[in-house]
Copies of this chain bind each other. A is one copy, B any other.
Amino acid sequence: MVSAVHAWSERLAQNGAQFTGSIIRDLLRLTERPEVISLAGGLPAPECFPAEELTMAAEGILAREPLAALQYGLTEGYRPLRALVIERMKARLAIDVAQEQVLITSGSQQGLDLLGRLFLTSGTLVAVEDPTYLGALQAWHPCAPRYVTVPVDEDGLNVDALERMLADGVRPQFLYIMSCFQNPTGITLSHERRRALVEVVSKYGLPIVEDDAYGELYYGEERPLPVASMDMEMHGELRHVVYLSSFSKVLAPGLRVGWMAAPEELISKLTQVKQGVDLHTNSLSQATVYEACRDGLLDRHVPFIRSFYRTRRDVMLTALEQHMPEDVRWVRPEGGMFVWITLPPHVDSTQLFHTAIKHDVAFVPGATFYANGGGQNTMRLNFSLPTPAQIEEGITRLGQAVRDVI
């Protein structure tokens, strides 16, 4: 008789077999002791969830229109929510699309997954920022693409480097960027580079996947307009960009409601893929989000979130100035949830991690976010979840750990 565990495991598709417990998961297990201050996470602060409004919204929709929350729904998404998303994109971002150009997704993470399914197969090439969002690499892992990386500086993606790459004949399936307050670096693509980027991709016909999950979390005066807006401005339509966003950072991530906007033909294909994947995004969350937002909750609530996180960012930046040795550098993010640290070249942040754990503070070693390796001397710090007191104490401890290893 054949052993069945063996029967299952010997059948794993080549890409499936490659899954192994990730290093980051193992590292984070070390942070579970209650005395450890974790700057390693990426969670929103619970204080920023409009729990009361969401409760009222869930009650309201279940009382008024229970089928909208409980019955099977359209794969494309709950119609009133799509309309709301379209209205907001138009009013706030100058992205003007039709209903057939929007797909509601189970978080923006699912948008990445669906795109992978449609465009990536084993060995196909994807261009990503260096470093990039880990969740994108995880979403595409089962497709086993190859990556070409484009360097990033404090103004974001190096568009000249991208153009040289394209001029050299490199032809990725698409370029994936997080244009605002990138996870992990907190960096924002400058206005000038956004324009240059659209020009370059227009010239070479390179599609862009723009992930704007953090876009609403700007701590300056104005929200930068997405690259998708510029695509729209230059071409009169969404032509080169697939735009992804989410309610996770402005309402609550546990709802798992995001969306994507793209050319209609592409949304139609993505909708067909999504139908096989999960039929549709859960109706209760979609209807609750719509019900909560239709009278303008976001305009009232998101300024509070921005001010809440701005304070924490400032606390972290001040603490870094006080406690970090001179040859440590960091990005001053204009939004989002993360500060990105660059240590002197000889310092390995994975080694530092173990020292830091002894000091009861945790972070994510930056090498995790590099698709093709590198970044051993970098690390990502989160300021959205820890309290100001924890941030101050955490950075104090981290400064000691850095001094220990330097």
Contacts and interface: CB of A to CB of B under 8 A. Distances in A.
B280 A277 contact: no
Contacts of A284: 58, 254-255, 282, 284-285, 288
A138 interface: yes
Interface in A110-155: 110, 113, 117-121, 124, 135, 138-143
A119 B69 contact: no
B205 A6 contact: yes
Contacts of A288: 284
Interface stretch (A31-39, A47-55, A184-192, A297-305): A47-55
A66 B49 contact: yes
Contacts of A107: 278-279
Contacts of A276: 109, 113, 135, 138-142
Interface string A61-90: 011001111111100000000000000000
Contacts of A66: 46, 49, 51, 55
A369 to B, nearest CB: 15
A91 interface: no
B58 A7 contact: no
Given A16-B119, A113-B278, A276-B139, A62 B72 contact: no
A388 B253 CA distance: 42
A161 interface: no
A282 B282 contact: yes
Interface stretch (A220-228, A267-275, A358-366): A267-275
Contacts of A239: 4-5
A12 B46 CA distance: 40
B277 A256 contact: no
A273 B142 contact: yes
Contacts of A252: 69-71
Given A138-B276, A272-B19, A277-B277, A12 B118 contact: yes
A263 B8 contact: yes
A70 B51 contact: yes
A6 B239 CA distance: 10
A254 B269 contact: no
A68 to B, nearest CB: 8
Interface in A142-177: 142-143, 173-174
A255 B282 contact: yes
Contact of A120 (B2, B13, B62, B265): B13
Interface in A202-250: 202-207, 235, 239-240
A80 to B, nearest CB: 14
A135 B279 contact: yes
Contact of A282 (B55, B143, B256, B266): B256
A42 to B, nearest CB: 8
A142 B113 CA distance: 12
A281 B203 CA distance: 40
Contacts of A321: none
A43 interface: yes
A207 B7 CA distance: 7
Given A6-B205, A254-B70, A285-B282, A11 B43 contact: no
A49 to B, nearest CB: 5
Contacts of A21: 268
Interface of A: 1-9, 11-16, 19, 21-22, 43-44, 46, 49, 51, 54-55, 58-59, 62-63, 66-73, 106-107, 109-110, 113, 117-121, 124, 135, 138-143, 173-174, 202-207, 235, 239-240, 252-257, 262-263, 265-266, 268-269, 272-273, 275-285, 288
Given A255-B282, A256-B282, A284-B284, 14 more contacts: A5-B265, A6-B205, A15-B121, A21-B268, A49-B66, A58-B58, A69-B254, A70-B252, A109-B276, A113-B278, A135-B276, A142-B276, A256-B279, A282-B282
